[in-house]
């Protein structure tokens, strides 16, 4: 009963705090829209003002907040949210994690699992990290096509900014919007070196540093940038083909690792619900709980070893 009251109180406090912060943020957004509307004139509608704000607002503006400046860990989390392409803010992510932690702790106390289910609070971070890895992989997969289109635009006589805008218009997310953002930054006055450095900082892509270096060298010394980009795109495609073959050959080891980590926990939960008295002697003794914890650690360690053995750096 105490755990239920604690969970309910904590949930109400967090919900009240979240609603207060959300209302404050909405009020601040309305004031910003009103100020921009006054600058543009009386003929500007709120929809037009909001559209202009969306077009000119930096996606990484939240990184300039005071908290992110004081705590680099918060900056890394916000950057991970940006790379994941999630509209969730850092405050919502942390609030969701705290709520899941409290819910897991209360559920574990009611079901007799102890505080172990509170580890579910790490689930939102793992979900965002997985979304970030998936989006960065999509960027890597679409990067050769972006290089080819960029090279063809340069051969057709377009300027660098126009070629970047062409890539941003023709290709889907995440490659297209990122190149369009680079073109927008250059058109607003940033130098190409700074805009490309910003792109490299935003995206955790394997081949992006080579592309940025090639463009910067071409800006400094001159040369045939289109041919360099074609060669780079061909190398990236060859490596992606080799990586796909390696992934197909190691798929069995990857599946074995996933089964290894899922089956023991699934059997434990199934026995807990089918016949709770069967596991009662182990859960009631300190030695039994230590054995369960050790078995869990060794299971996760075995999963990690299998994944490391099956992974080939390409």
**What CATH number does residue 176 fall under?**
1.20.81
The mean per-residue pLDDT over the stretch 136-153 comes to 92
Residues 126, 148: Cα–Cα separation, whole Å:
34
170: containing domain: 134-233
- Contact (CB, 8 A) for 176 and 168: yes
Quick one: 224 and 256 in the same domain? Answer: no
Residue 97 lies in a domain: no
The residue from 233, 261, 281 where one domain ends is 233
Q: Is residue 295 part of a domain?
A: yes
Q: Would you call the peptide bond into 165 cis, given omega within 30 degrees of 0 as the criterion? A: no
- The answer as to whether 201 is a domain residue is yes
Distances 225 to 214, 216, 230, 279 between C-alpha atoms, Å: 8, 10, 9, 68
Claim to verify: residue 225 and residue 301 sit in the same structural domain: no
Q: What is the DSSP string of the chain?
A: -HHHHHHHHHHHHHHHHHHHHHHHHHHHHHHHHHHHHHHH-TT--HHHHHHHHHHHS-TTGGGGSHHHHH-HHHHHHHHHHHHHT----HHHHHHHHHHHHHHHHHHHHHHT-TTGGGGGGGHHHHHHHHHHHHHHHHHHHHHHHHHHHHHHHHHTT--HHHHHHHHHHHS-TTHHHHHHHHHHHHHTT--HHHHHHHHHHH---SSHHHHHHHHHHHHHH---HHHHHHHHHHHHHHHHHHHHHHHHHTHHHHHHHHHHHHHHHHHHHHHHHH-HHHHHHHHHSHHHHHHHHHHHHHHHHHHHHHHHHH----
283 has a pLDDT exceeding 70: yes
Q: pLDDT (tens digit, 9 = 90+) per residue, 82-130?
A: 899 877 777 778 888 888 888 777 777 766 666 667 778 888 899 999 9
Residues 182 and 212 in one domain: yes
Name the domain boundary from 233, 259, 287. 233
Comparison of pLDDT for 144 and 92, the residue scoring more: 144
From 50-54, 71-75, 155-159, 208-212, the region with the lowest mean pLDDT: 50-54
The total domain count for the chain is 2
Contacts of 98 (CB under 8 A, 6+ apart): 14, 121
**Same-domain check for residues 225 and 173:** yes
Q: How confident is the model at residue 45 (pLDDT cuts 50, 70, 90)?
A: very low
What is the percent of the chain with per-residue pLDDT over 90, rounded to a whole number?
17
Name the pLDDT band for 62 (thresholds 50, 70, 90): very low
Evaluate whether residue 24 is within a structural domain.
no
CB 231, CB 244: distance < 8 Å: no
Specify whether 266 is located in the same domain as 220.
Answer: no
Residue 57's pLDDT band, with cuts at 50, 70 and 90, is: very low
Q: Which of 16-25, 152-161, 178-187 has the lowest mean pLDDT?
A: 16-25
Q: Is 51 within a domain?
A: no
- The answer as to whether 257 is a domain residue is yes
Residues 262 and 220 in one domain: no
Segment among 114-128, 199-213, 234-248 with least mean pLDDT:
114-128
Whether 68 shows a pLDDT value over 50: the answer reads yes
14-18, 266-270, 276-280: the lowest-pLDDT one: 14-18
Mean pLDDT of 131-155: 92
How far apart, in whole angstroms, are the C-alpha atoms of residue 16 and residue 27?
17
Q: Domain check: are 160 and 225 in the same one?
A: yes
Determine the pLDDT at residue 135: 92
Check: CB of residue 233 under 8 Å from CB of residue 148.
yes
The reported pLDDT for the residue numbered 67 is 58
d(CA 84, CA 254): 24
Do residues 206 and 278 share a domain? no
Mean pLDDT computed over every residue of the chain: 77
248-268 residue pLDDT tens: 888 877 888 888 888 888 888
Q: Are residues 222 and 259 in the same domain?
A: no
Q: Is residue 21 part of a domain?
A: no
Q: Which of 233, 264, 293 is the last residue of a domain?
A: 233
Residue pair 118/105 in contact by the 8 Å Cβ criterion: yes
Answer whether residue 134 shows pLDDT above 90: yes
Q: Are 218 and 254 in a shared domain?
A: no
Q: What's the token pair of residue 308?
A: 């490391």
pLDDT at 29 over 60: no
> Two tokens at 178?
């990122």
Q: Contact 143/205 with Cβ under 8 angstroms?
A: yes
Task: Confirm whether 98 is domain-assigned.
Answer: no
Q: Is the predicted pLDDT of residue 205 greater than 50, yes or no?
A: yes
Name the token pair of 105.
């702790």
Split at pLDDT 50, 70, 90, the class of 59 is: very low
What pLDDT sits at residue 307?
Answer: 79
Domain shared by 261 and 203, yes or no: no
Say whether both 259 and 223 belong to one domain.
no
């Amino acid at each position: 009963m105490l755990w239920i009251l604690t969970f309910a109180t904590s949930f109400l406090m967090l919900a009240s705090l979240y609603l207060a912060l959300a209302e404050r943020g909405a009020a601040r957004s309305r004031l910003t829209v009103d100020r921009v509307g006054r600058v543009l004139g009386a003929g500007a509608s709120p929809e037009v003002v909001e559209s202009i704000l969306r077009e000119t607002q930096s996606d990484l503006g939240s990184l300039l907040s005071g908290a992110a400046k004081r705590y680099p860990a918060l900056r890394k989390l916000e950057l991970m949210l940006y790379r994941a392409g999630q509209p969730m803010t850092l405050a919502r992510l942390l609030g969701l994690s705290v709520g899941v932690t409290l819910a897991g702790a209360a559920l574990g106390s009611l079901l007799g699992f102890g505080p172990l289910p509170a580890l579910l609070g790490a689930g939102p971070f793992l979900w965002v990290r997985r979304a970030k890895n998936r989006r960065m992989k999509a960027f890597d997969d679409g990067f050769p096509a972006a290089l080819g289109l960029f090279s063809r635009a340069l051969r057709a006589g377009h300027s660098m900014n126009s070629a970047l805008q062409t890539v941003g218009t023709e290709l889907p997310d995440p490659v297209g919007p990122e190149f369009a953002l680079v073109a927008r930054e250059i058109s607003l006055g940033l130098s190409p070196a700074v805009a490309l450095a910003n792109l490299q900082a935003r995206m955790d892509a394997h081949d992006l540093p080579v592309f940025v270096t090639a463009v910067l060298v071409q800006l400094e010394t001159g040369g045939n940038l289109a041919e360099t980009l074609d060669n780079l795109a061909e190398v990236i495609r060859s490596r992606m083909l080799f990586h796909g073959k390696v992934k197909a050959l190691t798929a069995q080891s990857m599946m074995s690792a996933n089964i290894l980590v899922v089956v023991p926990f699934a059997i434990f939960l199934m026995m807990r619900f089918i016949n709770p008295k069967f596991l009662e002697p182990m859960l009631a003794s300190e030695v039994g709980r230590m054995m369960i914890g050790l078995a869990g650690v060794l299971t996760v360690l075995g999963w990690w070893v299998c994944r490391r053995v099956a992974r080939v750096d390409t």
